[in-house]
Structures are given as C-alpha cells and as structure tokens.
Structure 1
C-alpha cells in the first residue's frame, strides 16, 4: 500500500450514492436495509488538530570531575547544540480516509452490517508479537486498518499492538567485554540504563504527573549539575527548559491511563569510546513508548494514544581514570520526539494528548512542519525533525 492515510480522499457524495446503488442492484440485504443505506450519511472529512508550536532545544548543563573532563564535556556540549525536540499534534489520519468496505461498515446504521458480505466485516487484526529489534528498521511499519481504539483494546489499529508490554519491551543485547569493561560490567551497565528508562517512562506515579525521584536518584552524584538542572526544570518548567524531554508525564487533571499497559519497542547498543573518549563505554538507547489515555472526567471512554520516542546515551567511565560512583548512570546526549501532544501547551512539563472529538475543523494555523509517522523507527530523530510543529499520519 503506497498511499499514506493523510493522502487518501474522503468519501464523496457521488461515491457514496454509487455504493448504495450497487448494494441495491446486488440484492444485498432487505428493502429496509437499502433504505437505511440511502439515509446513511457518507463519512465526513477528518477534523484537524489545534495549531501548535514545536518546543525549543533542550540540553543538560556542562559538568566535569577531573582534569580530563573539561575537554571531553566541551565536545559533548557542542554536539548537544545540534539536538532538538519535536512536538507533533494529532493529524487527521485517525479518521476514515478511504473508500474501503471494511471501514464503511463502521458508519452504517445498526443492523445494516448484518446484510453485508462477510469479507466486508470480518477483518481480524494481526496481534502476533514481533521479534526483538536488533537493528534499525529499513522502513516504517506497514499500514494497518485504522480501527478505533477502545477501552478493551486500546492499541487497536496501531502497529504497537504487536509490540511488547512495558519493561519487557526494553530488551537488552547480549553482553560482551567492551573497552575497559568486562562482560559482567557491560551487563550491569545495560541493566542500569534500562532501569533509568523504566523509571523515567514507565513508572505509574511519574506517568500520572509525579516527580521522577527513582530516575533522579540513578544519576551519578558527580553529574550534579545535570541533576540540579533537571530538578530545576521540574520545579519551574518553561518552553526552553522542559522536563518532558527526559521524563514522560501527563497531568492528572487532564487525562488518565487507559489500562495498565504501555507498548514499547526499541534497542540498545554498546561501544567503547575512542580518542578523547578513551576510558569510556557508551550505551546508546533508542526506544518508542505508546501510551493509551482517557480524559480524566468520569465516564470517559474515548481512547487517544500519545507516542514518545527517546534516544539517550549513557556514559560509563573507567573508575581507575575518573571519579565516578558505582551503580549510577551518567547521562550523555538525549533527544525526544512526541506524536499527539499539543504544541500549544508546551512549557508546563507535561504531554497533552489531543482527542479526536475535540479537534477543530478547518486549516491548522501555525502548523509548519511536515506530516510524519510517529511509528517510523527507520532513521534517527534528528533526520526528520522540523523547526515548527507538524502533524502525525497516525497514532
């Protein structure tokens, strides 16, 4: 399938009339069914998201703990200047966007679908778990039929339905001796990196807007400036200093989790530092988290999904050469990408999912970025970020 959901036309009045007449000529259903079909309205054009802005670049403070640190961290700081985050609003890809019998059935009056061929209504979703991701994919996930998510099936219609649940999705590569670290030490470094990602992105308390204390405690005390920086962002977030670039948090007065499962997919890799980075081992993590959410009010049943992709580097220094703390992590570069989080509300430290029922119609003022697929893990974040706020083709 080459058409993107956002590129497909909505159903025109002429196409709908042709569909109804075809059903009549083929003798599908009773006369009452055909009358109901004639009265049924064709799908409306999808609603558009609110205007929004992209958040500004985020970066940790500089720091060092020995004579060799200043030069090394200077290089890291220059590298971080290239980093940015991209806030993306929910696009119209959630709506019906093609003349396909399987999708039209959702719009028909109750009782009419029973008269249609089974091939129009029987459309099971493939939920076969995927194998672990060991390398960057070569393309985005294949399109799936845009079934609407439900309370019972919050990942319905999403590629994430085949992803692993929660921490199980942060699968670690086999450990082997690297640089100054033995196999056992590398294994410990991988586990410690995973522990931080879980604490920052999967802790139920943090997801409900709480402080990420467990994650903060994992940061090496010798990286005091970074921890102080992040704590300052949490206390007084701004558009320029936004803690959601590291921690996944939703405001509980606005939304609540739809169930207890977060879908996760990604990979880690380990490499020894060379040249000026000699004496270090870097663990690079690249994971995408999919969060199903409901409005906070009572009786809410509409599910929206927010997709967060995080690329983070954890640096482990040889204690024989540098002053570091055992059992802690040093955070290097990081970058985040958000799908379905209103850019208009950037700066308060939380992600703000948009629900289809709230999206306004018409053009989206202020939307300057291109449409992107938040499930596309085939290229690094920085290769497809934009300076403005774009839209997503699906959530």
Structure 2
C-alpha cells in the first residue's frame, strides 16, 4: 500500500471546451437580446410630450429644469444597477469582447455635438410646425447650443443658401444673381459679422442699400447714432453691448431661406426669412451661457433704372420686420440685453404671450407686446 497521499479533487471542475464555447455563445445572445436599445426619434418625441403634458412650458428666465435633469441621471444609475446582474455572470465573455456591452461603461469620451447632430438640409419652404422638443441640457462654454433645436442648423453664412438665378422681366440672369449675392452680403454683415454683433457700424450692409431711396439710409444712420423706440437699429441689425456680453465661440446658428420673384414695380423682389441664434456670456467673468434668438424678415428690391431714379447695383428696402427671443423688454439703447437664469431680469415686465422663438411655421406678429419665450 503506497504512502503517497491521494490527490484532492480540484476546487473548480474543468469545463470542456465545447461546453465553454456554448456558454459564450448563449451569453452573448442573452446580452444582445436584453441590451437597452436607443429609442427612435418618434419614441423620444412621444415620451417628451407625455412628460410635459399638463406642465407649463419652461420659462426662459428660469433656465433648464434642474429637477428633470437630476431625475434623468438617477434613472441612468438604476439602469446600470439592473444590468450589473447579467453582466456579472458574463464577465468572462466581456473580458474577451468588451464591445458586447451596450453604451460606454468604461468612461470613453462622449460623442461631441458636431458628431451627434446631423445637419439639416437647407430650408426651401416654410416648415409646417415648430422643431420638436430637445433634451433639457444646459448650454456651456464648450457646448453653447446644448439643448437647442439649432444644434443641427447651419453655421453662420453657410445657412444662407442662394437659389439658382434666372432672368426676371427686364433684368438679366446676371443682374438677378448679383442682387442675390448683395442680399446675402447684407444678411451676413447685418447679423453675423463679429464686429457688427459687437456693436460696430455695419458698413458693408449699408453699402448694399440704395442711397437714392428716400429716407432709408438716413433712418438707419439715426437709429445707429441715437437709438430710440422710434429709431431702433435692432429691427435691422443684431448688436450686443460689448461692455456687458460677448459671443461664445465664433459660431452663430442660422436657419432660413431666400426666394425671389417679379416685383410690383417692374423689378425683382428678394424675400429673406432667417432665424439667428446667438450664444452669449457675460463679460464679468461668469461662465453662464444663455442664447438670444432673432428672426428677421426683409424684402429687398431691384428696380428698373429706366423707370425709377435708382443707383445701379444697389438694393432698395421694401419691408423689414424682426422678432427677438430673450432680450429685455422696452430697452431701446441699440443693443440686445439677454437675461441669464441666475440673474435678475432686466427691462420691463413681459406683457405679451409666451411663444416659441424656434417656430418658423408662423409669420412674425405685427405690433404684439413684448412677451416671453418657451425655450432658448
């Protein structure tokens, strides 16, 4: 009889290779079946509408709904706690193939705004409804358009897309093309040029307009020199007081369209309808970001020089109107004065209705009292 002690059985029994492979396949299948899936755009829209049903729209002076944001974060933590149970059983498979885990549990870099947002196609006609609700995210210096429908709008002048020119009446195709480019130049300098937005004189925009048009250049010069309720440069130009606020980054979001047709005065009428979104921050060192939204409608004309006293190569103004979202009411110093969520509101109390500044499906109201906006 041998004195050699008998070998103890292994504490963990060996698993045959075919059984282990079957376990891996089964576990991978279960993970794929049980993994949470990104809801469709339609599902997100319905969910957002149900969440907001019966609730007042978020006030533009109050900032994001912090309670809702915290609630969403808690739901995320609960989700990962539940997923932890099957993931613990599949730890061997995860070690071999981490990509099986949905999401980014290892803290990878979040997708940027520019990568997450798909650019919208250029607007060719008036939309039929306002943009759908966006996530209630707080804008920051790094992400100034977070939580805004403008996130996937065009950047600056790239959003001012000219239609294909053609001859109209006595005006050749080349003349119409020149007029469209002049209209584009006017819109860019009046609303997007950094110097204009910082309060400088919009020299290039004024140079496009016909000095022969009775009273127009004089009126605009008066509004820029001595702003007042009766002479408000903001009706034509976007301007912020550089002592108070500055743009965040160098991008202003743009959405709209330009069309043209034969005018009533043997000319060409160019119709422009654009919304501009300006992310701004105070110049006192604060990092709090807010947005001002400006919609402009302007009709410019090319008149027949054989019938009217005009300056060749210049445009006349037939109509202009504007609507401002998140700017102090009844302040007429020639600058937008956006309110910030953490600061006391400036200007007079709002007396008009609450509107959505991103809604381009409706015409700009005439003579309405200064109101509030449902989102910025």
| Structure 1 segment 231-242 matched on structure 2, within 5 A | 231-242=221-232
1:388 counterpart = 2:369: yes
Could you tell me how far apart the structure 2 residues matched to 1:339 and 1:128 are? 25
What do residues 134-159 of structure 1 show as CA deviations (whole Å, max 9, x unaligned)?
00000001111011111111111111
Partner of 1:54: none
Question: Are 1:8 and 1:98, in contact at CA under 8 Å, matched by a contact in 2?
Answer: no
Quote the residue 2:97 is aligned against. Answer: none
Return 5+ residue gaps in structure 2 as ranges.
1-44, 84-101
Please report how far the alpha carbon of residue 221 of structure 1 lies from its aligned counterpart in structure 2 after TM superposition. 1.5
* Counterparts in 2 of 1:103 and 1:351: CA distance versus 1, 3 Å: farther
- Counterpart of 1:26 in structure 2 is none
User: Does the CA contact (< 8 Å) of 1:369 and 1:386 recur in 2?
Assistant: no
Q: Cα distance, 1:267 vs. partner? A: 0.2
Q: Can you list the C-alpha shifts for 1:150-208, whole angstroms capped at 9, x where unaligned? A: 11111111111101111111111111222222222211111100100111111111111
Unaligned runs of 5+ in 1: 11-44, 49-89
Instruction: Note closer, same or farther for the CA distance 1:330–1:394 as it changes in structure 2 (3 Å cut).
Output: same
Would the alpha carbon gap of residues 140 and 100 (structure 1) be closer, same or farther in structure 2, given more than 3 Å must change?
farther
User: Could you tell me whether the CA contact under 8 Å between 1:6 and 1:393 is conserved in 2?
Assistant: no
CA RMSD of aligned residues (A): 3.2
The Cα shift of 1:7 comes to 6.5
How far off is 1:91 after superposition? 4.3
More relative contact order in 1 or in 2 (CA 8 Å, sep 6+)?
1
Residue equivalent to 1:288: 275
Alpha-carbon spacing, 1:176–1:116, altered in 2? closer, same or farther (3 Å): farther
Is 2:330 aligned against 1:330? Answer: no
Mark the CA change 1:389 to 1:270 in structure 2 (over 3 Å): closer, same or farther: same
Instruction: Specify whether residues 343 and 246 from structure 1 end up closer, same or farther in structure 2 by C-alpha distance, changes over 3 A only.
Output: same
Q: Partner of 2:353: helix, strand, or coil?
A: strand
Distance 1:129 1:96, change over 3 A: same
Render the CA deviation track for 1:275-311: whole Å, top value 9, x for unaligned: xx2412100000000001010113x211111000000
Superposition deviation, residue 98 in structure 1? 4.6
Alignment of 1:17-56 (within 5 A): none
CA pair 174-100 structure 1, distance change in 2 beyond 3 A = farther
For 1:304, the equivalent position in structure 2 comes to 290
Contact 1:288 1:309 (8 Å CA) reproduced: yes
**Match of residue 136 from structure 2:** 146
| Equivalent residue number for residue 244 of structure 2 | 254
> Structure 2 length as normaliser, TM-score?
0.73
**After superposition, where does 1:81-120 map in structure 2 within 5 Å?**
90-92=60-62, 94-96=64-66, 98=68, 101-102=71-72
Residue in structure 2 matched with residue 58 of structure 1 by the alignment: none
* C-alpha displacement of 1:325: 1.4
| Alpha-carbon separation, structure 2, partners of 1:5 and 1:368 | 28
Report how far residue 128 of structure 1 moved.
0.3
Deviations along 1:31-82, one digit per CA (max 9) or x if unpaired, are: xxxxxxxxxxxxxx97x6xxxxxxxxxxxxxxxxxxxxxxxxxxxxxxxxxx
Q: Find the aligned partners of 2:350 and 2:274 in 1 and give their Cα distance.
A: 26
Cα offset, 1:94, TM superposition: 3.2
Instruction: Give 3-state SS (helix, strand or coil) of 2:143's partner.
Output: coil
Q: How does 1:213-232 map to 2 (within 5 A)?
A: 213-232=203-222
Matched, 1:355 2:340: yes
Contact kept, 8 Å, 2:189 with 2:205, in 1: the verdict is yes
Does the Cα contact within 8 Å between 1:6 and 1:92 map onto a contact in 2? no
With over 3 angstroms needed to count, the CA separation of the structure-2 counterparts of 1:103 and 1:310, relative to structure 1, is: farther
Q: Is the 8 A contact 2:185 2:204 kept in 1?
A: no
1:306/1:338 contact within 8 Å kept:
yes
Q: Which has the larger radius of gyration?
A: 2
Q: CA deviation at 1:368?
A: 2.5
Describe the SS at the equivalent of 1:389. coil
| Residues 63 and 341, structure 2, Cα contact 8 Å, conserved in 1 | no
Given candidates 165, 181, 189, the residue that maps to 2:179 is: 189
> Is 1:373 paired with 2:356?
yes
Aligned length in residues: 305
The aligned residue for residue 196 of structure 2 is 206
Q: 2:128 and 2:67 mapped to 1: Cα distance?
A: 26
TM-score (norm 1): 0.70
Partners of 2:299 and 2:313 in 1: how far apart?
16
Q: 8 Å contact 2:241–2:335 — kept in the other structure?
A: yes
Query: For the Cα contact (< 8 Å) 1:294–1:303, is it kept in 2?
Result: yes
